[in-house]
Amino acid sequence: MKIAVCISGRMSGFDVTSKLFEHWNSIYDNVEFYFFISTWKDVSSEYSETRGPVEDWDFSKYKFITKYEKVDINDAWASEKCLKVSACYSYSLYRAQQLRRECKEEFDGVIQTRSDMFIDRQTLDSLINLIDKQGELSKKIFYSPSNLRYEDKRFMLIHDYFGFAHPKVMDIYSLMYFDAHIINLVPTAFHYMNGTHLVNRNIQVICIPGVGLTSVIPQTFKEIHKWRMYDAISSLIEKRGVEWIFYKKRKIEELIKELKSL
């Protein structure tokens, strides 16, 4: 089984989360994860209050990455009127999926996510079970940690930072940038852009059966002070090993308790 993992946007905390992503290929005997990264060229001075500092990572040092690129952020701004944050998000997503397409591998499934994520073993097991049970994922379904929401007469994808689907569905999802920012078919606001695009393209959104934890690290570990968050995870990896974090029956409460003790 081969699963592509497409990571796009700002690479917050990647020196720590890379250790989590890399370990995925040590969990299963019959599953290979291929990692594709599309990010921005000039990010050395970026800082976000909620996501922390971003560095200009040397991705060539991370041997588990299949392919990566650093793109000029101005390429995402289709016009002066476009919503720049939304355009950057959807354009980077498109570019990451394009790297996956250029690889020419036949993937059983594709994960779309971002760098500062905590994705637990239960979720990975659930994605693999979907492929095992179906043989081939549906070419009409996008799997998300939650169902679509209908709000203000528009469709809304709550979890815009994690999705799983057949490669053909991800190809369609990656066209969101063009539908929103080039030909103006869908809203440009976050969540509404994602949900409306999928509905317009006749893709059904279904909650991942048995999904575990798929959350950005600042939300997952909000009890840990934001300045210590990544340092605490790094210390935990050094103390316990990545294997401890991905133990099949590990509960998030146990993980948070351990982090707070460091």
What pLDDT does residue 153 have?
Answer: 83
What pLDDT does residue 227 have?
Answer: 56
What pLDDT does residue 45 have?
Answer: 45
Count of residues for the chain? 262
CB of 25 within 8 A of CB of 32?
Answer: yes
Distance in angstroms (rounded) separating the CA atoms of residues 3 and 15: 22
Neighbouring-strand partners of residue 117: 216
Which portions of the chain are predicted below pLDDT 70? Answer: 43-53, 78-83, 222-227
What pLDDT does residue 83 have?
Answer: 56
Beta strands in 153-243 (DSSP E): 154-156, 163-165, 204-207, 214-216
Which residues have C-beta within 8 Å of that of residue 67, sequence separation ≥ 6?
36, 37, 99, 102, 103
Whether the CA torsion 88, 90, 93, 98 is positive or negative: it is negative
- For domain 2-218, the CATH class is alpha beta
- What interhelical angle do 14-23 and 229-240 show, nearest 10? 40
What pLDDT does residue 47 have?
Answer: 45
Distance in angstroms (rounded) separating the CA atoms of residues 155 and 234: 38
Neighbouring-strand partners of residue 32: 2
What pLDDT does residue 85 have?
Answer: 85
For the chain, give every domain's residue range: 2-218
CB of 120 within 8 A of CB of 252?
Answer: yes
What pLDDT does residue 219 have?
Answer: 74
What pLDDT does residue 107 have?
Answer: 99
Distance in angstroms (rounded) separating the CA atoms of residues 52 and 47: 6
